[in-house]
Structure 1
Amino acid sequence: MTIFLLLGCSKTSISEENYHYNIPYGTILLIYGGQDHEEYLGKINASKYDSESIWNEYGKYGNRYNSKSIWNEYGTYGSKYNNHSPFNDYASNPPILVDKNGKFYGYFTSNKYKSKRANLKLIDIICDNHKAISKNVSEWYDKIF
């Protein structure tokens, strides 16, 4: 499967064959969701002061009331029932994690049976605690990082 993302102004091809298990130190991972993974959902491992971080509760992607936030339990990407949500244990089309160059690091999902699920401790922590995290994103950032 090949996935195309809009990074900046150019379309970048992401191939699952180039799946990476190890994240180089300092690499920030970006979350993309939606049917064709073209919906930008923020940065998963950025500082809570970064405006695009899912850990910035005052930013677009960290605010639990924003429709693009994974912390919005009533939104597409925060619902445990939506096929595009990382928190649906049966999702077949969850968000993906890529770096700024388009390298694929796996699917961001609580679905433990999803092929090429991101093999990251951070994913397990977020998926196992997403309801609690959504209520106090900043406090959880301080616990995790």
Structure 2
Amino acid sequence: MAREQMSTNQALLLFGGNDHKTFLGCLNCVKSDDASICNKFGTYGSKFNEVSIWNKFGTYGSKFNEGSPWNKFSNSAPIIVDKNGNTYGYFSTNKFHNNRTRIKSYVNLLDWSADNDDLEQARNASCGN
């Protein structure tokens, strides 16, 4: 079962793809971290990189791809884990996903994104830029 609470100092990592083996970035790392989904110049924060959840034309940013968190109908969304392997649910806009994350800030972001369909604004809300 996914944890509902998280330690504020625990890095939350996003994995997608087959068997969730593709690293998609750190959800709550500082913006300057190379692994941060909020680092515009990093692999995971760039809206141009194939493995970025912010690339609307990429595998993990397209609202049409099964493995994307932005696909409202998918059950194959990325999973949130910490470095110890504890799971925190799936990062998914699918409100009916069985094990969707219960972390309030992410639920708010995902619900907003599902309702507004604006990836750029979702990124700005998530990353503060």
- The TM-score bracket by the shorter chain reads 0.7 to 0.9
| Percent pairwise identity | 38
Which digits, 9 at most, give the CA deviation of each residue in 1:70-127, with x for residues without a partner?
Answer: 0000101001011100000001110000000110100000000001100123323432
Q: TM-score, normalised by structure 2?
A: 0.87
* Aligned residue number for residue 73 of structure 1: 56
* Aligned residue number for residue 106 of structure 2: 123
Give the number of the structure whose alpha-carbon radius of gyration is greater: 1
Q: How many residues align?
A: 124
* Aligned residue number for residue 20 of structure 1: 3
Provide the aligned C-alpha RMSD in A. 1.8
Q: How does 1:25-64 map to 2 (within 5 A)?
A: 25-64=8-47
Q: How does 1:82-93 map to 2 (within 5 A)?
A: 82-93=65-76
Report deviation, 1:140.
Answer: 5.1
Q: Which has the higher strand share?
A: 1
Report deviation, 1:141.
Answer: 2.0
Asked if the contact 2:26–2:35 (Cα under 8 Å) also holds between the matched residues in 1, the reply is yes
Which runs of 5 or more residues in structure 2 are unaligned?
none
2:49 aligns to what SS in structure 1?
coil
* Aligned residue number for residue 97 of structure 1: 80
Partner amino acid for 1:108? F
